[in-house]
Amino acid sequence: MLSVKLIMKNEVRPWTVLSERNFALFWVSLLASGIGSRISSVAIGWQIYEITNSAWQLGLTGLFRAIPILVFSLTGGVLADRLDRRRLLIVTQSLAMLLALLLAVLTQTGQVRVWHIYAIIFLSGVVNSFDQPARQAIIPNLVPREHLTMAFALNVTLRQTASLAGPFVGGVLLAAAGLAWSYYINALSFVGVIACLIFMRVEQSGAPPKKESALKSMLAGLEFVRRQPVILALLVMDTCVVFFGAYDVMMPVFARDLLGVGPTGLGALLGAPAIGALVGSSLFMGLGNRAHTGRLVITVTLLYTAGIIVFAFSSSFSLSLCVVFLLGALDAVGETLRMTVIQLLTPDELRGRVQGVVRIFVFGFPTLGNAQIGAVAALLGAPAAVALGGLIGSVVVGLVVKKAPQLRRFEI
């Protein structure tokens, strides 16, 4: 705990970290790739709903994203700790680019079917399950240890910026140029990451991996998380809230059927949370280190669940934009705290495996929640499904606080 406090007290500014050449190149290239991926996500959601007019089939995109995360993330974490992370990322980014090109060609030629989209989503999920643990674990190889906290914060900001620019650009591009060009732009966005990785010279830190079976190595990451009550409580709380309150996957339904704002409005609804996230993270970093970290995470998460309920019953486009803006701000503060705590409590030699576990909790189960909320929406309607998810999420937060009092008392 002392080492965590020492790192947190060392004031490092964003531009100091971005002056590290390798990290800056990696960060900028991933930002471009993230924007491309978000453009593709907007197009996929709109395309499936246009083809099927089914909230259930729209929600199934979450199922096909979740299965690879749940099945392959632990293996991806093991490989991130055993292989050269830079080379592993070159392979995964190249495969992702080819899948994006395939979807573009199928769409442009009129050959695309819903099952094609589901298959490409699934295969992309498999690739990402090997990409994400290595992407997170390579960060300590790019910056000095005293810069890690700000590097992690910038990594969160990268995702938020991509989530902001991607949907706005995606909505405009979708309306102006059509679906195929959205996918071509996504494929092009991977080129910068691949080039950056090829020219990087990165030495992997830490001791060489032990000569042990893959299963034993995998279990070591799971055991570490199990023995860390604060990490485990954060993961369980975040996972359940996002699993039951996956409101964003229902955005095409809200945009087209409930608010009547079309693809451009859809881009705004998906982009507004990212604006809020950027504002929230900027204010949070500007205020510096905060006391009562555990209580702050709990409060922010409860406010997030309340916001989901308000959004569900909003019939005004302006009000909906304001609510999702606030949801983005709350999510940014919560994510920055969660990821910083997890990364700082994890030793270097376990980073890949722990990130594999984190990916299952933070992306796998919540992504599976997209299918869950799609099924509930098919029965009750999208507003009722989203509101019910927010209510369940608030109950889960209360249960986690009761079962894990260490979280409420935790400070960094």
Q: What is the CATH number of the domain that holds 44?
A: 1.20.1250.20
Q: Does residue 171 fall inside a structural domain?
A: yes
Q: Give ∠ CA 363-149-21 in degrees, rounded to 5.
A: 100
Residue 127 exposure: Cα atoms within 13 Å on the Cβ side: 18
Question: Is residue 243's pLDDT more than 80?
Answer: yes
- The model carries a pTM of 0.70
Q: Does residue 7 fall inside a structural domain?
A: yes
pLDDT (average), residues 235-242: 88
Report the chain's mean pLDDT, rounded to a whole number: 82
Question: Is residue 58's pLDDT more than 50?
Answer: yes
pLDDT of the residue at 347: 78
Question: Is residue 16's pLDDT more than 80?
Answer: no
Question: Is residue 306's pLDDT more than 90?
Answer: yes
Closest CA to 369 of 380, 377, 381, 379: 377
Distance CA 84, CA 138 (A): 9
pLDDT of the residue at 212: 67
Q: Does residue 402 fall inside a structural domain?
A: yes
Q: Does residue 207 fall inside a structural domain?
A: no
pLDDT of the residue at 205: 54
More confident residue, 289 or 51: 51
Q: Does residue 41 fall inside a structural domain?
A: yes
Range of the domain at 35: 2-201+213-409
pLDDT of the residue at 2: 38
pLDDT (average), residues 286-294: 63
Pick from 115-129, 152-166, 167-181, 354-368: least confident: 152-166
Any idea which residue has 């991996």 for tokens? 209
pLDDT, one tens digit per residue, over 380-402 is: 998 999 999 999 999 999 998 88
Question: Is residue 339's pLDDT more than 80?
Answer: no
Distance CA 381, CA 253 (A): 10
Distance CA 347, CA 342 (A): 10
Q: Does residue 208 fall inside a structural domain?
A: no
pLDDT, one tens digit per residue, over 202-217 is: 665 554 455 667 778 7
340 pLDDT band, cuts 50/70/90, is confident
How many independent structural domains does the chain possess? 1
